Amino acid sequence: MILCSNPKAQYLAHRAAIDEAIQRVLESGYYILGSEVKAFEAEFAAYIGGAHCIGVGSGTEALHVALRAAGIGPDDEVITTAHTAVATVAAIELAGATPVFADIEPEYFTLDPAAVERAVSPKTRAIIPVHIYGQAADLGAIGGIARRHGLRLIEDCAQAHGAKLGPRRLGSIGDIACFSAYPTKNLGAIGDGGMIVTSDAELAERCRLIREYGWAERYVSHIPGFNSRLDELQAAILRVKLRFLDEDNTRRQLIAAEYDGALAGSALELPEKRLGATHVYHLYVVRSKQRDALIGHLRTHGVGALIHYPVPVHRQKAYVGRIRGGASLPETERAAAEVLSLPMYPELGADEVKTVVSAIASYGR
């Protein structure tokens, strides 16, 4: 079976360096918030173009900590998308705030600025655009809305490590940005992990305090906080993988170009690229009117295509009927019925790409 993503393949591609990094941590005797985390935070902040990086326990916790650091909580609304991993919405509720949904642009699957504008209310305090599948949301327009209404712009970059809008990397444009290091991400750990990036020194300091019980010094809490720490092992692994991130993203772009060329003229609707943005193809997502039948056909031909995401958040049992904006999201619902993610990871071979394309061609509809 050709997997949709394959984190083991990336470990094997960099095995010697990763094994050395793990051994270095094991022998150090220091396993939480030590030199590896500090070094990775400095390296990742420099890579993104932000002044500060704060390592935390997961991408969900990155959003949670960022929201709390920004002072967002009960009685505050945060506008975001329902076409996302549920983690985005879960983090808003973990902070005690209220999510509000706006619809997406059909071409790019990211927040529609016009829908965001309509969703703003007197209680709105922040907007969380999700750079889904590895491509930028329209931060020019959404950032303008945030500035006009005095709102925080919090970038969800969980799927967009290394992507750009114009000359700037995603994560350096909003007030604060949140990344996941889940193993399947473009920059993935071997376990959970997350990163917060900001150039606001005050926000950064609050994030550091919140991630470890509000401690400015050990055992003394200056503000309420909790435990969400990136561990030394994951930081050491991420330091290795960060060195190869641009190279791996280039390989993703080459695979996407192969798909684009081979599938042009097929019944599939291929991914569109935003003008002026650099897509890093965390996922290569197509549309198909016969999506469910096609995915079954692909599996019989050894192709493990997946759906990201089959049920939008506002239609899930935990959230249905209780989030403002969920009653009218036609493009979100159309996407959920049609999207299909083809295999995409840097180690995917040319023969495997041909197998995927041949399996699609053999479907014949």
Domain shared by 197 and 315, yes or no:
no
Percent of the chain with pLDDT over 70: 99
Contact criterion met (CB below 8 Å) for 145 and 116? yes
Shared domain for 257 and 173, answered yes or no, is no
pLDDT per position as a tens digit, 146-203 = 999 999 999 999 999 999 999 999 999 999 999 999 999 999 999 999 999 999 999 9
| pLDDT tens digit sequence for 99-111 | 999 999 999 999 9
Residue reference for tokens 């995927």: 356
Task: Output DSSP code: residue 26.
Answer: H
Please identify, among 210, 226, 242, the residue that sits at the C-terminal boundary of a domain.
Answer: 242
Any domain includes 321? yes
Residue 212 forms part of a structural domain:
yes
CA dist., res. 230 & res. 232, Å (int)? 7
Q: Report yes or no on 2 lying in a domain.
A: no
Domain boundary among 225, 242, 259: 242
Residue 117 reports pLDDT greater than 60: yes
- Strand pairing of 339-342 and 284-287? antiparallel
pTM of the full structure: 0.98
129 and 255 in one domain?
Answer: no
Structurally, the chain folds into a number of domains equal to 2
Residue 1 belongs to a domain: no
Assigned domain for 64 exists: yes
How many Å apart are CA 252 and CA 58, to the nearest integer?
A: 24
Q: Is a pLDDT exceeding 60 seen at residue 276?
A: yes
| 15-26 average pLDDT score | 98
Same domain (yes/no): 57, 200: yes
The CATH number of the domain holding residue 330 is: 3.90.1150.10
In a shared domain, residues 96 and 180: yes
Question: In terms of domains, do 205 and 249 share one?
Answer: no
pLDDT confidence of residue 365: 55
Same domain, 73 and 200: yes
What confidence tens digit (pLDDT) does each residue in 295-332 have? 999 999 999 999 999 999 999 999 999 999 999 999 99
Check residue 339 and give its pLDDT. Answer: 98
Q: Is the pLDDT of residue 210 over 70?
A: yes
Same domain, 262 and 233: no
Q: Would you give the end-to-end CA distance of the chain in angstroms?
A: 23
What does each C-alpha distance from 48 to 17, 173, 210, 240, 336 come to in angstroms? 23, 10, 22, 16, 31
- Looking at the structure, tell me whether residues 262 and 235 fall in a common domain: no
CA 201, chain centre distance (Å)? 23
Are 186 and 161 contacting, i.e. CB atoms less than 8 angstroms apart?
yes
Q: Name the band, by pLDDT with cuts 50, 70 and 90, for residue 254.
A: very high
Does 181 lie in the same domain as 34?
Answer: yes
Task: Please check whether residues 235 and 269 belong to one and the same domain.
Answer: no
Residues of the chain above pLDDT 90, percent? 99
- Structural domain including 259 reads 245-363
In a shared domain, residues 113 and 200: yes
- Report how far residue 14's alpha carbon sits from residue 9's, in angstroms, rounded to the nearest whole number: 9
Q: Which of 242, 274, 307 is at the close of a domain?
A: 242
